[in-house]
Chains A and B, each alone.
Chain A
Amino acid sequence: MLDSPRLTSASIAVRRDPPIVEDLRSTTVPDDPVQRRDLILIERARTGDLDAFNDLVRLYQDSLFALVVRMVPDRDQASDAVQEAFFSAFRNLASFRGGSVKSWLNRICVNAAMDTQRLRKRRPSQPYPEFEDESWQPKAGDDVDPERIAVDAERSRAIAAAMTRITGDQRTAIVLYDVEGYDYSEIAEMTGVSLGTVKSRIHRGRLSLRDILAERMELFRG
């Protein structure tokens, strides 16, 4: 992990010298320490250092699983998609073209999730059969008021359940926009559709969510 001796500040400082790498876009040392750390790990992984790649996996597996499981409403399928995405990233380390490693991994995961969605369309499975499962983790806030925690948990489950009932395309667009913070054009590029289609999916998805949750909107108001 990052605490390992391989990633001391000294080693990062050494990398500030002009590194001898072939990818011109990754030679510009970014100011962002996170990005700098990621690029170092990628460079090491490219030279065959499996530990460096696994450091990246440990750093991003939670956020990537959270992204994919929002898009693919089946925990096992989402998990398989994330694993496949990491396999794909490892296979294609050479084709990393610089920039943000997180964005690169996100993009691979989004592709894997969309592939899984296409597969689900052909072979649909029951969405979220694990809803009663305790492994579902609504975000716990700082508020310690038990009633407030219960309401938050209920709201969190309600929105998650509603998300499973809108179409996969709408879900993907909404997750990328509302959760991941991509803008319309980035989503259009990632999903391979036009800007207008992205907007339409987001707007219609929100309308659908509102229709689905019409009876429970009090949870979300005020």
Chain B
Amino acid sequence: MTDRSSATTPPTHDTHDLERIVALAARDADLDPTVADAARAQVTACRACRDLLADVVALSAAVPDAAIPARPRDYTLTEADALRLRPGGWRRLLGFVGSARDGFTRPLAIGLTTIGLAGLLVATLPGALGGLAIGSGGAAALSTVGSAISPAAPSHEAGSIAASAAPALPAPASAAAPAASGEPPRDAAGEGGTFSGAGDGTTSQRADQPSDLAAEAAIGEDATGMSVLAVLAGAILIVGLGLFGLRWTARRLGDG
């Protein structure tokens, strides 16, 4: 206990940082040395701070001795309780997922999430990956092929190709519609690449096979214009994240 008689309380006590004193009383191991020194100086100079330090130490020691009521009942479980509480069905599954014995769902969740993220990256960054993506993919690849066949083809021919393909092509409507109206069609990435055919018969050969074109485009995009790869990757990512969520929930339930 501190000597209460020899200290004085300066009028500035109200401005003293009392939490600093409490931290000093707690003997925090990670208490900043400068803060600790300041607190000690405060305690030395101010009687009220010294009293506070002594009181907080005394109270901390007294807390474990606080009166507690007697336990009012016995908490042992009856057979009926056990029957009611025994996990069955999905709870049993959840219990397994959260347990340490489950060495399967974590790697699976990591794998699915990684594949999903990678798939989304591939689908959304086709240029960066050299057009490997089917994704925006589908139309972009086709436009690349078309350009390679005839870089100098007149644009009105492209319109005719698109127009003839349009009835069989519900998916890339955004690309086909402007082409049919004579405007240069845009690829799915919106880069304005033209879909041009050759005037030496290649065009008619392609135009004669609209079903091939439709099939290729269908691989690349669904009715909403989204890449199949992106949809698939998104679904895998969701499943992976869902597994993480399931594990987290199971572990939370495990801790009550």
Residues of A within 8 A of B (CB): 22-26, 48, 50, 53-54, 57-58, 61-62, 65-66, 69-70, 75-76, 79, 82-98, 104, 107-109, 111-112, 130, 133, 135-139, 152-153, 155-157, 159-160, 163, 174-175, 178-179, 199-200, 202-204, 206-207, 209-210, 213, 217, 220-222
> Given A66-B68, A199-B28, are A178 and B82 neighbors across the interface (CB < 8 Å)?
no
> Given A138-B67, A210-B52, are A94 and B62 neighbors across the interface (CB < 8 Å)?
no
Residues of B within 8 A of A (CB): 1, 18-19, 22-23, 25-26, 28, 52, 54-56, 58-60, 62-77, 79, 81-82, 85-87, 91-92, 95-96, 98-101, 250-251, 253-256
A76 and B59 CA atoms in complex are apart in Å by 27
Cβ contacts under 8 Å, A217 to chain B: 55, 58
Q: How far is the CB of B97 from chain A (nearest CB, A)?
A: 9
A168 and B203 CA atoms in complex are apart in Å by 78
Q: Are B69 and A107 in contact (CB under 8 A)?
A: no
Cβ contacts under 8 Å, B74 to chain A: 58, 61
Q: Are B66 and A94 in contact (CB under 8 A)?
A: no
Q: How far is the CB of B69 from chain A (nearest CB, A)?
A: 5
Cβ contacts under 8 Å, A222 to chain B: 1
Q: Are A156 and B77 in contact (CB under 8 A)?
A: no
Cβ contacts under 8 Å, A58 to chain B: 74, 76
Q: Are B70 and A137 in contact (CB under 8 A)?
A: yes
> Given A23-B101, A221-B1, are A156 and B67 neighbors across the interface (CB < 8 Å)?
yes
Residue from A48, A199, A221 within 8 A of B58 (CB atoms) = A221
A200 and B255 CA atoms in complex are apart in Å by 25
Q: How far is the CB of B201 from chain A (nearest CB, A)?
A: 70
> Given A96-B254, A160-B68, are A86 and B77 neighbors across the interface (CB < 8 Å)?
yes
A111 and B253 CA atoms in complex are apart in Å by 10
Q: Are A160 and B67 in contact (CB under 8 A)?
A: yes
Residue from B1, B52, B65, B253 within 8 A of A95 (CB atoms) = B253
A24 and B96 CA atoms in complex are apart in Å by 14
Q: How far is the CB of B118 from chain A (nearest CB, A)?
A: 31
Q: Are B59 and A210 in contact (CB under 8 A)?
A: yes
A207 and B60 CA atoms in complex are apart in Å by 11
Residue from A48, A62, A86, A159 within 8 A of B62 (CB atoms) = A159
Cβ contacts under 8 Å, B73 to chain A: 79, 83
Cβ contacts under 8 Å, A88 to chain B: 256
Cβ contacts under 8 Å, B63 to chain A: 159, 163, 174-175, 178-179
Among residues of B, the one whose C-beta sits closest to the C-beta of A113 is B256
Q: List 16 A-B contacts (CB under 8 A).
A: A54-B76, A83-B73, A90-B82, A93-B95, A97-B99, A111-B256, A137-B68, A139-B65, A152-B65, A153-B67, A155-B62, A157-B67, A160-B68, A200-B19, A210-B56, A217-B58
Q: Are B75 and A86 in contact (CB under 8 A)?
A: yes
Cβ contacts under 8 Å, A202 to chain B: 26
Cβ contacts under 8 Å, B55 to chain A: 210, 217, 220-221
Cβ contacts under 8 Å, B19 to chain A: 200, 203-204, 207
> Given A92-B253, A95-B95, A207-B18, are A137 and B59 neighbors across the interface (CB < 8 Å)?
no
Residue from B62, B71, B82, B92 within 8 A of A61 (CB atoms) = B71
Q: How far is the CB of B93 from chain A (nearest CB, A)?
A: 10
A57 and B101 CA atoms in complex are apart in Å by 24
